[in-house]
Amino acid sequence: MAHSFIFVPTPLLYSLTSSTKGHIALLATNIFFAINFTAVKYLINGGFIHAFGLNIIRVAVCAFLLWAAYFFTKEKKVVQKKDIGRFFLCTLTGIAINQLLFIKGLSLTYSIHASLLMLTTPILITFIAVWLLKERLNNYKIAGLVLGIAGALVLILSKEKTGTAPNALVGDVFIILNAIAYTFYFILVKPLMKEYDPVMILRVIFTIGFFIMLPFCYKEFSATNWHLYSPKEFSVLSLIVIGGTFCAYLFNIYGIKILGASIAGAYIYSQPLFAAAIAIFFGGEYLSSYKIFAGMLIFAGVYLANKTKVNA
C-alpha cells in the first residue's frame, strides 16, 4: 500500500488494530497542526524567518519527501490529461493560496484566533456544497452559518492588543480567506480521490505548488536570518516542516483511509483545544472570555451546519 511507510514498524504498532492506528494517526495530525500555530509565530515574530520564506521551505521539503517516498511504493499511475486542470485548481486552492494566506495570517494574529477561525471550514464546506452541488438548505444549516459568522465576528472585531499579534484584524481576515480557499480545495479534490492514490495527489499538488509559489517566496526566503538560528530554532523549523506539514498530511490521509472522512473531520474539534493549551503555556497568550464565547458560537455553528449529514 502507498501509505505503508507512514508508521515505524515496531512490535507495539503491529499489535494494534487498524482502527486504533487510524485514531492515533488522526490525533497526531491535529496535535501537529496545533503545534504549528505557536511554532510558526515563534519563528516569524521572533525575526528568524519571513512568512513566505517559511512557506517555500514547507512546500519544497514536503515535495522532496513525497518524491522520495514514491520510490518505495508500487504506485506508478500518471495524471490523466482530463484531470490536469483539476490538479492545477487543487494546487492553487489547497497549496498556493491556502498556505500563503495561512502562514501570513497566523504571523499577524493570535494562535487561538487562528485555530478557532479554522473551525469555520466545515461550515463553509456545507454552504459551498449547497451552492455548487445543489445540496438542500435547511434551518439547521442556516442557523449554523449565522452562529459561525457571529463567532468569527467576535474574534475579528475584538479590541485585544498584545505583542503576539501585530495586526490581528488583517491576520483574522487572511485566516478566513485561507479557510475559504481550503474549502474549495476540499470539494475540488474529492473526484480525484476516487481515481488516484491520495499520496500521489499530495505529491503532484506539492510539486506544482512549489513552482507556483517560488516567484512569490524567493525574496523572503533569501532574506532568512540563518545566522540567528540555534539548535532550538532548527528544531522548531523541523517540527513545522516535518511534523506539522509532511507527517500531518500523511497521517490525515491514513486516518481517512482507515476510518473515513466523517470521523477524520470530527477530530478537527480537538485542534483548538490543543492549540489554545500550547499557545498559553509556550506562546504567552491567554484565554479571555471573548475567545471562549467566540469558540462556543463557532462550535455550535459547526454542529448545526453538519447536523443532518449523519441522518441524510
Angle of CA points 36, 42, 44, to nearest 5°: 95
The full set of domain ranges for the chain reads: 29-305
Q: Provide the angle, in degrees to the nearest 10, between the axes of the packed helices 198-222 and 97-108.
A: 50
Q: Is the pLDDT of residue 7 over 60?
A: no
pLDDT, tens only, 102-134: 999 988 888 888 888 887 777 777 777 667 666
Q: Closest by alpha carbon to 197, among 66, 42, 291?
A: 66
Give the DSSP per-residue string, 293-310. Answer: HHHHHHHHHHHHHTTTTT
Cell of 302: 459547526
Return the pLDDT at 6: 44
- Structure confidence by residue, pLDDT tens digits, 175-216: 989 888 888 887 888 788 888 888 888 899 999 999 999 999
Residue 135 has what pLDDT? 62
229: left (phi over 0), alpha (psi -120 to 50) or beta: beta
What is the chain's percent helix, strand, coil content, to nearest 5?
75, 0, 25
Q: Which helix (H) or strand (E) holds 209?
A: helix 198-222
Rounded CA-CA distance 36/42 in Å is 10
Among 2-6, 189-193, 254-258, which is the least confidently predicted range? Answer: 2-6
75 pLDDT band, cuts 50/70/90, is low
